[in-house]
Structure 1
Amino acid sequence: MELYTNLRQGEKGAWLSIGTYLLLSSTKLTIGYIGTSDALKADGLNNTTDIIASIAVLIGLRISQKPPDSNHQYGHLRAETVASLVASFIMLIVGLEVLVNSLKSLWEPAGTTPSLLTAYVAIGSAAVMYVVYRYNLALSKKIRSAAIKAAAFDNRSDALVSIGTAIGILGAIYGFPIIDTLTAIVVAFIIIKTAVEIFWEAVQSLTDAFDIDEVETLSVLIRNVEGVIELLDFKGRAHGNMYFIDVTVSVNPYLNVFESHRITEVIEHTVMRENRFCHVFVHIEPHIEENPPINENKSPTI
């Protein structure tokens, strides 16, 4: 099934993030220690927490691929959304930590002047994380994965943190340590903002919120299906990148079972042409007019 194939593709993005963070965190901690840069060491510690977030995303993607069972008859697709929720919490903690440490440094004297090498490492790390961010963002759009999208935004936040680290190091080298603090505060707010956005999107999905524009688009398509007289009810919810749609339509009450079933199949195919990740449940109701015409030859039976 294409859905589960996409989830397996999503694992590539999670593994890429994990491998990149392992490499960068070890490099930053080593060079930060050698080059006496507290900022680079802090950035390296930040990446160690990102490893945990990426592992959470990977676990969520793995669980999402499990087939439906007796307790999860719609499958385990929402595990992916839970993973993005966990990632948002980790990003929020990192953002608050960066903010608190930056505010503390406003009245703490600067330490030893760091080596220029540490600035080069920070700039290189930012470039690497930006490439990973672009890859994961494109992958998340391709497979419609909330978890990989969260991972991509985490990658972007880390690129910004590394840029801030480089600016702070250069500021300290050239005698303007306040630049480090101001940049770190701005970066902290960017991380916190991103975390809140990911958190809100995950909560909306977990509480069965559904995109109003998507409702309008699919409703118009269903109303235009031949044989549908009225769209009586429309409900939708998201499980990962899969949509489950429940609709109730009214049709001619004198249609036989075969003809009514044909209408439900046309509705399902119409919706899936618009969004191939939609699963549609159609309920048929007989259309009852307020002032029905008298028909002496035929009357409905119940």
Structure 2
Amino acid sequence: MEDRFKKASFATWLGIIANAVLAVMKGITGWLSGSRALIADAAHSASDVVGSIAVLAGLKTAQKPPDKDHPYGHGKAENIATIIVAILLVVVGIEIAISSAGAFFGGVTRAPGMMALVVIIFSLIVKECLYHYKYRLAKKINSSALMAEAWHHRSDSISSMAALVGIGGAMAGQASGLPILFYLDPLAGIVVSLLVIRVGIKLAKESSQIMLEQVLSDEETKPMAEAVQKVDGVIRVDELLARTHGHYMIVDIKVSVEPSITVEDGHTISKQVKKCLTKEFQSIQNVFVHINPYRTDDDRKVVDINDQKTIQERA
């Protein structure tokens, strides 16, 4: 757990420093060159800094062990951080759209200079490197907050690409004597805003589903049911519900056993079920097992591990 936090923390601090430097570079260059697209991109990088700080706080909270008030742990702190990042993306996207749209009414009299082009290319390279680094790390340590950060970097790359096209087009317009092409720069700013808003909504939707206790699909839990079915004493898996808590999962499972066994035997089977799941699936942190007496005439909802569906079994 500690090693996981150190890796995620290092990656987050790396992003904070890189984004702070890029935000200042793009902001100053955008202001001096009059590039709406570059200023919009600077705002995007600045939002990354704020988002990364929220992620850092979420990661630190998520590593805390379960306590009396939080028996399931603090894993969802990562999802809260993800939602904060998503909200920031949407807000920044709207601000970028308003600023860029205003350029069409105020008029664009010149194209950005060469420095704007150099800065945006540099930003594109840095952001892509950060995206690939954090994406791989997030997959390795199963961190939704770090994954959100990775996609935040990728959205920055896409917005930088749009800004690159806009700035390059505006410069081409100045070189060819076609001032109409100057408007490609603010147009790129609007495209950037739409991309940023889209990523923000997607991240917010995914994390909100986890916060609302959405369980994994039957297909995702099928391997778990198959593993439990092999435990000695388990006759049938009646129900298996798995939900995500940040980087780990909590499982609630009901299994049927021989009705004539002792309470102690039932307890032993319960412990074996829990041991089986936590050993075979590293992402599972805790398992709550309910023992049912097996009845051949039961009319109950059970897990069918053969066709991956939850069906009604009628003996």
TM-score range, shorter chain: 0.7 to 0.9
Unaligned runs of 5+ in 2: 174-180, 299-315
2:189 match: 184
1:60 match: 58
Q: Deviations over 1:142-161 (max 9, x none)?
A: 01111001111111111112
Preserved CA contact (<8 Å) 2:37 2:100:
no
Secondary structure in 1 aligned to 2:215?
A: coil
1:236 match: 242
Distance 1:113 1:180, change over 3 A: closer
Q: 2:225 aligns with which of 219, 224, 227?
A: 219
Secondary structure in 2 aligned to 1:234?
A: strand
Preserved CA contact (<8 Å) 1:208 1:236:
no
Secondary structure in 2 aligned to 1:237?
A: strand
Identity %: 31
Unaligned runs of 5+ in 1: 292-302
1:203 maps to amino acid? S
2:302 match: none
Preserved CA contact (<8 Å) 2:111 2:182:
no
Instruction: Report the alpha carbon displacement of residue 230 of structure 1 after superposing the two structures with TM.
Output: 1.8
Secondary structure in 1 aligned to 2:221?
A: helix
Structure 1 runs (4+) greater than 4 angstroms displaced: none
Deviating more after overlay: 191-200 vs 23-32:
23-32
Deviating more after overlay: 266-275 vs 43-52:
266-275
Preserved CA contact (<8 Å) 2:110 2:182:
no
C-alpha separation between the residues in 2 aligned to 1:51 and 1:111?
32
TM norm structure 2: 0.84
Q: Deviations over 1:29-80 (max 9, x none)?
A: 2333444434323322332222111100111111112222332122211111
2:290 match: 283
1:24 maps to amino acid? L
Indicate yes or no: 2:152 matched with 1:146: no
Instruction: Report the alpha carbon displacement of residue 254 of structure 1 after superposing the two structures with TM.
Output: 2.7
Distance 1:261 1:70, change over 3 A: closer
1:71 match: 69
1:200 match: 205
Secondary structure in 2 aligned to 1:106?
A: helix
C-alpha separation between the residues in 2 aligned to 1:101 and 1:274?
52
C-alpha separation between the residues in 1 aligned to 2:226 and 2:102?
56
C-alpha separation between the residues in 2 aligned to 1:154 and 1:204?
19
C-alpha separation between the residues in 2 aligned to 1:103 and 1:22?
26
Indicate yes or no: 2:29 matched with 1:31: yes
C-alpha separation between the residues in 2 aligned to 1:102 and 1:54?
25
Instruction: Report the alpha carbon displacement of residue 257 of structure 1 after superposing the two structures with TM.
Output: 4.5
1:17 match: 15
What does residue range 90-169 of structure 1 map to in structure 2 within 5 Å?
Answer: 90-169=88-167
Q: 1:49 aligns with which of 44, 47, 59?
A: 47
- Alignment RMSD: 2.1
